[in-house]
Amino acid sequence: MNISARSSRLWFQALILLLMLLLPLATMLFTREGSSEFGEEGKARLTRGQVLADVVNAPAQPPAKAPALPPSGFAPQTRLGYTAGDQWEPAIAADRHGHVYILYPQYLGVPGCADCFSPTMILQMSDDRGATWGTPRIIHPAGQTLGQWDAQIVVDPVDGRTVYAAWLQNGKSDTVVARSTDFGATWSVVVANSTNAGTDKPILAVRGQDVYVGYNHAQKVWVSSSHDGGATFASVNVNKTGKLGWSLAGGGQSGLPASMAGLPARTACVWVVPGALRARGPRFGLWPVMLPVVTPPMLQPGDTF
């Protein structure tokens, strides 16, 4: 072997050694940064925790009124939420009694709230099918100093009136579920699961007394399930073999549409990893597109996947 070939081989071996030394560091940095990257996109990453005096001192938001419905199509848009600060990623739900609920995280402060963290979860409601809207308000004042991210809100399809909400709180280490039986006037709030590190992207599915909230922690997807109407929860890890990539909850459904009412109720949990869609069902694998949900039996406390 000539000197040039030996030198090239030594350089190659040194490069491999360097990559092996850098890989653990890169993995650690990716894990630390990933939660904020996926949890707070764009400008929201820059405004986390930042509260502006002009937002806090902004005047109270008046009720809103939507334009009348045209004979066909949609009415013009109606601006909801606070007009000061930033409003991000709203969730919306409607019940059978004319109530419509919008839940979203409010960044850069909440008008009239000097100690509210950025973001804080805000609820705005209509009781006449969206024709008029009340003033926006904090859904859970006891958590307003802890930070609240990633809104979810759904109505129980069984009774058509009980409304559930979910979000991440306390630096995203707490997964919170709230329940209202009086059309959003009051809420009972529980922590479904608490971790020592940030989680991300919760999804919420409800049917009767069965309540499910799925969320990710880095490569792992977790589901916390309740079978007493959200009073207590048990948590399980869905993808125990998850390694590379980043799992993000992409959708969830409990129960079946009316057209399939004759079939037994099931629960689905879907999550996304880079380049593919994964779904938990009778068959588990990589699907390039979303397929009709075919799902396993309902979870019970302590169930494993």
* Span 227-256, pLDDT tens digits: 999 999 999 988 777 665 666 666 655 544
Amino acid 282 reads P
Concatenated DSSP letters of 105-133: EEEB-BTTBTT--SSEEEEEEESSTTSEE
Q: Tell whether the model's pLDDT for residue 158 goes beyond 70.
A: yes
CA atoms within 13 A on the CB side of 160: 4
pLDDT for res 247: 63
Do residues 90 and 151 lie in contact, with contact meaning Cβ atoms separated by under 8 Å?
Answer: yes
pLDDT for res 24: 56
pLDDT for res 84: 95
Mean pLDDT of 61-86: 93
Closest CA to 115 of 148, 141, 89: 141
Q: Tell whether the model's pLDDT for residue 258 goes beyond 70.
A: no
43 or 274: which carries more pLDDT confidence?
43
Query: For domain 51-63+80-198, which CATH number applies: 3.20.20.80, 3.90.209.20, 2.120.10.10, 3.30.70.2740?
Result: 2.120.10.10
Domain range summary for the chain, segments of one domain joined by +: 51-63+80-198
pLDDT for res 18: 72
20 or 165: which carries more pLDDT confidence?
165
pLDDT for res 116: 94
Q: Tell whether the model's pLDDT for residue 136 goes beyond 90.
A: yes
3 or 154: which carries more pLDDT confidence?
154
- Helix or strand holding residue 7 (H, E): helix 3-39
283 or 17: which carries more pLDDT confidence?
17
Highest-confidence range of 3-12, 35-44, 108-117, 274-283, by mean pLDDT? Answer: 108-117
pLDDT band for 162, please (50, 70, 90 cuts): very high
Cβ neighbour number for residue 239 with a 10 Å cutoff? 20
220 or 63: which carries more pLDDT confidence?
63
- Mean residue pLDDT of the chain comes to 77
Mean pLDDT of 162-175: 94
pLDDT for res 288: 31
Highest-confidence range of 13-17, 42-46, 225-229, 285-289, by mean pLDDT? Answer: 225-229
Q: Tell whether the model's pLDDT for residue 135 goes beyond 60.
A: yes
CA 89 to chain CA centroid, Å, is 9
pLDDT for res 95: 96
Do residues 269 and 212 lie in contact, with contact meaning Cβ atoms separated by under 8 Å?
Answer: yes
Q: Tell whether the model's pLDDT for residue 13 goes beyond 80.
A: no
